[in-house]
Amino acid sequence: MVLSAEESGRLAGLLSGHADRVTARWTESVVASLRGRLSQAELRRQLQELHASMIAAAEGGLVDLDDDQGAELRALLAELSRGRARQGFSATETAVSVYALKDVLLGLLDTGDAHALRDFVAYSRLIDQMGLFTFESYVRTRESLIADQAEQLLELSTPVVKLWEGVVAVPLVGTLDSARAQVVMERLLQTLVDTGSPYAIIDITGVPAVDTQVAQHILKTVVAARLMGADCIISGIRPQIAQTIVALGIEFGDIATKASLADALRHVLRLTGVETARRNHRREA
Amino acid sequence: MDRVPILKIGDVLLVSIQVDMSDQTALQLQDDLAERIVATGCHGVIIDITALDIVDSFVGRMLSTIASISKVLDAETVVVGMRPAVAITLVELGLSLNGIRTALNVERGMELIAAARYDEGGYGPDGDDADTETTAVP
């Protein structure tokens, strides 16, 4: 409980008694902090809504923002901060929209009166609560944005392309962590099944660094592909990466490794080409 | 008790596992398969595990045993149609199907067996052609 029912009633009276002055001053002090990135009319509309909702809540006997009476106000605040987060405003700029109300209220009160000051402290507590709530919603919106983007990145960054009849390639770009390695592995294996390709080329030109963990992920993918009956070739190993691999003592065993994607493709074609050449020879003979 | 059917296609026996394997079913399959290999004189066995959601150490051991039995009877075994999820699980568990050849699908499996027979210069379905060829080419 941040303010008593009587204080809440007096707040409603104060806000509705000077409605025009409150919204005008409020808009004025907020618009300066937003530096013209939001039109004054738009801002005034938002703050008027907030103002009306605060009056409604205070008249309903609001004693705490978490109460049922505050539901509409909370929804409005969440909406406001979601909008601000999406439009790229900072957390401070968003919170200021609420905190500016404090100065407005202080201007309306008779500062010489001790009762009025005590009321102001109570109002401040409510406004602090509103500000914190705004900040929370802002952060939540940002976090969901970041999560969405990470997911999109995961989707985007792991294409499996068909290079030749029966040959698919996975150009890996960016750091390979466990989550991405899992996605790459699943997608590659699924593509092998869907296309019936017996050869896969894993190109690591775009991988900035290969440590033991990354190598482990690649090896797992290769072994899984082998279990399914497909062969993997690793290509795009840059000179520094080759040195790192040797320095770390990573063993690729009997997995074919090539310097470039072109070499890998030539290698695969030779593998398949030898077979066809033999058959042709046999038929001709 | 479930019994796994064994189909003969040319020189190859095709086993498609559609049910969950129990000890009994596995033993029965080994018996049946050995008998069929001897009776038909086939030189290839394809085991299709497309329908299997789970391959554990038990099924892995069964596949290895079947491969070994077939080997003794001079038949090549190829396991085909392993699902990606199954392959990933096997790798995570560290189970590798040693001594078992794998292919993506039945078609590739038959190609693989045909190629293996040809490399051996053995008597495939077109083994007679291979013989005439070797004598014809100087």
- Which of A189, A196, A197 has the CB atom closest to B87's CB atom? A189
The CATH number assigned to the domain holding A229 equals 3.30.750.24
By the 8 A CB rule, do A30 and A95 touch?
no
pLDDT in tens, A248-260: 888 888 889 999 9
pLDDT band (50, 70, 90) for residue A30: confident
Partners of residue B85 in chain A, C-beta under 8 Å:
186
The minimum CA-CA distance between B134 and chain A, rounded to whole Å, is 10
Partners of residue A281 in chain B, C-beta under 8 Å:
none
Q: Where a domain ends, among A152, A180, A213?
A: A152
A198·B108 Cβ contact <8 A: yes
pLDDT in tens, A141-175: 999 989 998 888 777 767 888 888 889 999 988 88
B102·A228 Cβ contact <8 A: yes
pLDDT in tens, A177-209: 888 888 888 889 999 999 989 999 999 988 888
Amino acid at A87: Q
pLDDT in tens, A257-271: 999 998 999 899 988
Q: Where a domain ends, among A107, A134, A152?
A: A152
Does residue A11 sit in the same domain as residue A138? yes
A189·B88 Cβ contact <8 A: yes
Question: Which helix or strand (DSSP H or E) is residue A54 part of?
Answer: helix A40-59
The minimum CA-CA distance between A283 and chain B, rounded to whole Å, is 10
Contacts of A192 (CB under 8 A, 6+ apart): A168, A200, A225, A228, A230, B84, B104
- The answer, yes or no, to whether residue B116 has pLDDT greater than 60, is yes
- To which residue do tokens 């067996």 refer? B113
Report the Cα B1 to chain-centroid distance in Å: 23
Residue ranges in A60-113 assigned as alpha helix (H): 71-87, 91-108
Helix crossing, A239-248 with A212-228: angle to 10°? 90
How far is it, in rounded angstroms, from Cα A115 to Cα A77? 29
Query: Tokens at residue B116, please?
Result: 């293996």
Contacts of A267 (CB under 8 A, 6+ apart): A233, A256, A258
Q: Which residue of B has its CA nearest to A195?
A: B104
Partners of residue B115 in chain A, C-beta under 8 Å:
275
The CATH number assigned to the domain holding B75 equals 3.30.750.24
- The answer, yes or no, to whether residue B1 has pLDDT greater than 80, is no
Chain B residues with at least one Cβ partner in A under 8 Å:
78-80, 82-85, 87-88, 90-92, 96-97, 101-105, 107-109, 112, 115, 133, 136-137
The CATH number assigned to the domain holding A35 equals 1.10.490.10
Partners of residue B67 in chain A, C-beta under 8 Å:
none
B108·A229 Cβ contact <8 A: yes
Q: Which residue of B has its CA nearest to A185?
A: B88
- Would you say the C-alpha torsion B38, B40, B44, B47 has a positive or negative sign? negative
Contacts of A20 (CB under 8 A, 6+ apart): none
E strands, chain B, in order: 6-9, 12-16, 44-48, 76-80, 101-103
Percentage of the residues of chain B whose pLDDT score is greater than 90: 29
pLDDT in tens, A83-134: 888 888 888 888 888 888 888 888 888 777 888 888 888 888 889 999 999 9
A229·B88 Cβ contact <8 A: no
A196·B107 Cβ contact <8 A: yes
Report the Cα A134 to chain-centroid distance in Å: 19
- The answer, yes or no, to whether residue B42 has pLDDT greater than 70, is yes
pLDDT of residue A157: 66
Query: CB neighbours (10 Å) of residue A274?
Result: 10
A227·B91 Cβ contact <8 A: yes
What's the whole-number mean pLDDT along residues B103-112?
A: 90
Asked whether residue B1 is domain-assigned, the answer is no
How many separate domains does chain B show?
Answer: 1
Does residue A145 sit in the same domain as residue A23? yes
**Residue B77 structural domain:** 6-136
* End-to-end CA, chain A: 97
How many separate domains does chain A show?
Answer: 2
**Interface predicted TM-score (ipTM) of this complex, two decimals:** 0.72
How far is it, in rounded angstroms, from Cα B45 to Cα B76? 6
The mean predicted confidence, pLDDT, of chain A is 85
Does residue A146 sit in the same domain as residue A12? yes
**Residue A100 structural domain:** 5-152
Which of A18-27, A275-284, B44-53, B72-81 is predicted with the least confidence, judged by mean pLDDT? A275-284
A229·B92 Cβ contact <8 A: no
Instruction: Tell which wins on pLDDT, B128 or A74.
Output: A74
